[in-house]
Amino acid sequence: MIKIRNLVKRYERLTAVDNLTLDIEENEIFGLLGSNGAGKTTTIHMLATLLKPTSGTATVNGFDIVHQPAKVRESIGIVFQAPSSDDMLTGYENLYIHSLLYSLPRSIRQKRIEEVLELVGLSDRKNDRVKTYSGGMRRRLEIARGLLHKPKVMFLDEPTLGLDPASRETMWKYIRRLVEEEKITVILTTHYMEEADMLCNRIGVIDKGRIIALDTPTNLKAGLGGDIIRIKTQASNAEEIAKGFDFVHKLEYENGFMVLSVKDAKRDLPVLLKQIEAEYADFTSPTLNDVFIRLTGRNIKEAPEGGFSERFAKYD
């Protein structure tokens, strides 16, 4: 659905997107995960034809982003990092104006507007000025606007930035629903690990303009070497038994616990417990945050030098 080839965006002093090559399949939720200033927004802006690449190419829905911008625009919907509706107008009016800009036939205009309002749960507030909306409602209105013309591809730049945990989960629900109901491909950017993990079929970890890892969340985490099981036991043969299993990669002792590295604790722990008389057992799975730290040597909240967060401070 999207083919990116050697895409580069260079500003005077830095390279915001550095030789990006990537394919995004139809009907997937693809996540670009990266810290502030990683180049996520810059990438989205180039794909949405708002920014000219310094070099390289990409096609969206088969259309070249540099040479066929109008075709690309008809194919995409986008939710920007910062809200972009006119807050002097009502939700409905904002959508109406965009329905004209996207040349929705008169006969279906109103029906389609009601439909997208329903989808994002704003029907009862449609005649209120956007000024009076909460942050979450504004974001949902932006999603509705992005969906109006039934785009093939939807870009969501930090769709849940600044939302509280409850609204964030509602937003995830909407995003999943729109992939199911509208059959579209979603590219979202985020620096919330949990979001990438819960929502995305595949994740590209982007750092300083480069994709440094690309896989499903499960595989990325599995790449770290599986889960960690901790067992407390008095049994003297425990170590011997544990070492007898193939799935145990490593065995250590820590604070009186026997610590085992295994591939999949949910399957392996019950097997172990059948053989070992344990007083206590638990396990932890690696998170995407562990993946990120492994890949970049940083926590995702720490921006690389010269982060870009200031510019969007008001939403963070």
Interacting residues toward ligand ATP by CB under 6 A: 11, 14, 16, 34, 36-42, 81, 191, 306, 308-309, 312
Among 210, 303, 213, 214, residue whose Cα is nearest residue 18: 210
Please say which residue, 131 or 173, places its beta carbon nearer to another protein. 131
Least Å from the CB of residue 227 to ligand ATP: 30
**Identity of residue 215:** D
**Identity of residue 132:** T
Least Å from the CB of residue 165 to ligand ATP: 19
Q: Does 241 bind another protein (CB under 8 A)?
A: no
Please say which residue, 54 or 309, places its beta carbon nearer to ligand ATP. 309
- In the region spanning residues 70 to 129, those forming contacts with Mg ion, defined by CB under 5 A, are 81
In the list Mg ion, another protein, ligand ATP, none, the entry touching 36 (Cβ below 5 to 8 angstroms by class) is ligand ATP
d(CA 210, CA 17): 7
Least Å from the CB of residue 81 to Mg ion: 5
Please say which residue, 88 or 271, places its beta carbon nearer to another protein. 88
Please say which residue, 6 or 103, places its beta carbon nearer to another protein. 103
Binding another protein (rule: CB under 8 A), the pick from 7, 16, 24, 48 is: 48
Q: Reduced to 3 states, what is the DSSP secondary structure of residue 156? A: strand
Least Å from the CB of residue 101 to another protein: 4
Question: Which stretch, 4-12, 34-42, 132-140, 160-168, contacts Mg ion (CB under 5 A)?
Answer: 34-42
Phi, psi values for residue 59, rounded to 5°: -120, 140
Q: Does 85 bind another protein (CB under 8 A)?
A: yes
Per DSSP, helices labelled H in the chain are: 40-47, 69-75, 91-101, 106-119, 135-147, 165-182, 193-199, 217-222, 238-243, 265-275, 288-296
Least Å from the CB of residue 24 to Mg ion: 18
Q: Does 184 bind another protein (CB under 8 A)?
A: no
Least Å from the CB of residue 26 to Mg ion: 25
d(CA 101, CA 70): 12
- In the region spanning residues 250 to 309, those forming contacts with Mg ion, defined by CB under 5 A, are none
- With CB under 5 A as the rule, give the number of residues binding Mg ion: 3
Q: Does 41 bind Mg ion (CB under 5 A)?
A: yes
What's the alpha-carbon Rg for the chain, to the nearest Å? 23
Among 146, 140, 211, 223, residue whose Cα is nearest residue 174: 140
**Identity of residue 220:** L
Among 263, 233, 237, 269, residue whose Cα is nearest residue 250: 263
DSSP 268: H
**Identity of residue 46:** M
Asked whether 242 and 248 are in contact (CB, 8 A), the reply is yes
Least Å from the CB of residue 97 to Mg ion: 26
Question: Which stretch, 32-40, 84-92, 96-104, 165-173, contacts Mg ion (CB under 5 A)?
Answer: 32-40
Instruction: Spell out the SS3 assignment of 119-130.
Output: HCCCHHHCCCEH
Geometric angle at alpha carbon 293, from 288 and 295, rounded to 5°: 95
Please say which residue, 99 or 296, places its beta carbon nearer to another protein. 99
